[in-house]
Structures are given as C-alpha cells and as structure tokens.
Amino acid sequence: MKQRTLGTNLTVSEIGLGCMSLTGAYGTTAQTPRAEAIALIRKAVELGVTFFDTAEVYGPFANEDIVGEALEPVRDQVKIATKFGFAFEENGVPGGGVCSRPESIRRAVDHSLRRLRTDHIDLYYQHRVDTSVPIEDVAGTVKELIEAGKVLNFGLSEAVAGTIRRAHAVQPVTAVQSEYSMWWRERENDTIPVLAELGIGLVPYSPLGKGFLTGAINASTTFEASDMRARTPRFQGDALAGNLRLVDTLNELSAEVGATPAQLALVWLLNQQPWIVPIPGTKRVERLAENMGAADVELSDDQLARLRQAADEVAIVGARYPEENDRMTNLEAPLPS
C-alpha cells in the first residue's frame, strides 16, 4: 500500500485501521471474540496496513490490550495511535467524563504502554478537549512525554481551530483526528484550512458515515435500540430518504468503475488532500479487504469529477450524532489563567 506522511515525519499506510468496533461501538457492547479480533488486525498487516488506531476508553482498556497482542510480533513494522483524556481510577481520577490533568496524562501513558506491549506510542491524541485544563498544559505534558521517549508524536481529536493553534505553539501537532466524510464536511469550514497552514495531517474517523456510505443502508433499514444510529437524526425518516440520494450516485458510479460504494467514499477522501489518512473500522475480514482495496481504485479525471460533484450537490440533512453525544465535540479549551 502507498504511504502518506502526517505532520513532518509520521509515515503510515494511506489507509489505516480503526480498531474501536472490535470491542463495541455506537452504543453496542457486543465484542468480537478476542482470537477473531487479533486475526483481523494481523490480516490488515498482511494487506499492507501500517497504521492502527485505538484508545484507552475503547472497552475501556480491552481494545488497547487486543491491539497490543495482535501487533507485538510486528511492532517494528507498524505505527500505533492511542488516546488519553477520560477519567479513570487507574489514572488517579475516578468517575466519568473527560480529564486531561497533567498528572492523569502521565499515569495514562504508562498504562497504555503496558497494554500495548510497547515502549513508545507513535501518535498520542487528546481524545476530547477538557474545558477545565488549558491546552497549553496538555501540550506541555505531552512534550515532556516526547522528551522522555514514551511518545513520538502529539495529536488532538475533535479540536477546533483555536485550540489547535495554541497547542501547536507549545508542541507541534502531527495529526488531528475528526469525523470527516462525504456526508459530514463541516471540518472544511474550520479545521482543514488550519491544518493546511500549519502542516498538520488529518485522520478522519467514520469515513464511511457509520455505514451509510457502504450502500448497505436503505429507507427500510432499522437499527437495534442499543445502536446509536437508531437515535441519530441523519438515519431517520425524511432525512434518511433525502440523504440516500448520495448513495444512489455512489451505486451508479460503482457499477461503472468496478468498485464498491465504500471504496468510492474512501477514494473521495484520499483525493481531498495528500495528508489525509482515513481509518475505516470493521469486524469482518471481507469488509477489511474491501476497504483496503480502495487504495488500488483508479478513477479517470472525469469519474473523479463526477464523484466530487455528487458530494457537492447532495445536501446532507440531520445531525451526525444524538444531541447527548455531540456535546463532547467542537469545544474550545480554556485560556491559561
């Protein structure tokens, strides 16, 4: 698989693997059997993937442990990204919610290193902005971890432009992780211009719109009550019916070029900027192969133009999350006192 560079020096496969769903996602708690999860991650390595995304909160903790075991035999061949920033008793902060106190970050990194079976983390993200801690304190703490060799690169997740600038001034930010896809493009209005200016990479999560862009969802699709999509406005009623116009176009083009709708959605992302590395997730080996196969899809200039036109012309409606989930995104870190 071709390689891309995030920031100035983090070189990874142009498509990575988001591992969150292996230990439950979008409101479901169903976990992939451990042996199957490890086999899937190792299959991704065989397919050329060198970039794997996890977090302490996934599980919690179980996801890092699975990723660590799966990648231990090939640790020198891959890059691992994980995240800190939630309150856990093992990090000295019992209870729920976000927490990026410096002492909590210092504890969190050691626990993540242990679970990941490694002596360094290639990319360490603040998972969500902590509105009680200035981002300068967070960046300064990660800078100390980089100087100690425990972390190689600093990242932010779902941070707004001002927070990114302030963090970058203390410790250069290698990558920002945010939702970004054909069906959620608000990052183009704020984050992406700043990343281009500062030389920071973008790692889109949910690049397939939580399954919407795969073509597997239609107007009659229903979700289990525990599935967050059952409460997400974009998947409901008239909003879903209108949004499916984009999938209709993907289906038409996919038949012409011999690629799946999911692959075309990933091709669209890859062609937005050379420093974008999407991380689609899956529990199924066949979907894994399909997603990674997007790296081999070649479109003519005309076909790529039609793909971009489809994304530009279909106005996606409805919120991307239920309100309670969206409250933790797009927050500004407080200024230092």
Instruction: Give the residue-averaged pLDDT of 130-159.
Output: 98
Average pLDDT over the chain, rounded to whole? 96
The answer to whether residue 234 is domain-embedded is no
- Band of the pLDDT at 295, cuts 50, 70, 90? very high
Question: What's the CA gap between 196 and 27, in Å, rounded?
Answer: 34
pLDDT at 278 > cutoff 70: yes
Instruction: Give the residue-averaged pLDDT of 273-285.
Output: 98
49-97 pLDDT per residue, tens: 999 999 999 999 999 999 999 999 999 999 999 999 999 999 999 988 9
pLDDT at 27 > cutoff 70: no
Concerning whether 26 is annotated as a catalytic residue, the answer is no
Q: How far apart, in Å, are the Cα atoms of 202 and each of 195, 216, 273, 336? A: 7, 26, 9, 26
Question: What's the CA gap between 277 and 3, in Å, rounded?
Answer: 9
Question: What's the CA gap between 24 and 41, in Å, rounded?
Answer: 16
Question: What's the CA gap between 143 and 88, in Å, rounded?
Answer: 22
Torsional sign, CA 72, 76, 78, 83: positive
The answer to whether residue 337 is domain-embedded is no
Please pick, among 58, 180, 205, 321, the residue that the annotation labels catalytic.
58
CATH number for 195: 3.20.20.100
The answer to whether residue 328 is domain-embedded is no
The answer to whether residue 148 is domain-embedded is yes
- Band of the pLDDT at 233, cuts 50, 70, 90? very high
126: containing domain: 3-214+269-299
Bridge partner list, 205: 179
- Band of the pLDDT at 28, cuts 50, 70, 90? low
Torsional sign, CA 60, 66, 72, 74: negative
- Band of the pLDDT at 24, cuts 50, 70, 90? confident
The answer to whether residue 135 is domain-embedded is yes
The answer to whether residue 287 is domain-embedded is yes
What's the confidence (pLDDT) of residue 149?
A: 98
The answer to whether residue 237 is domain-embedded is no
Report the domain count for the chain. Answer: 1
What's the confidence (pLDDT) of residue 321?
A: 87
The answer to whether residue 311 is domain-embedded is no
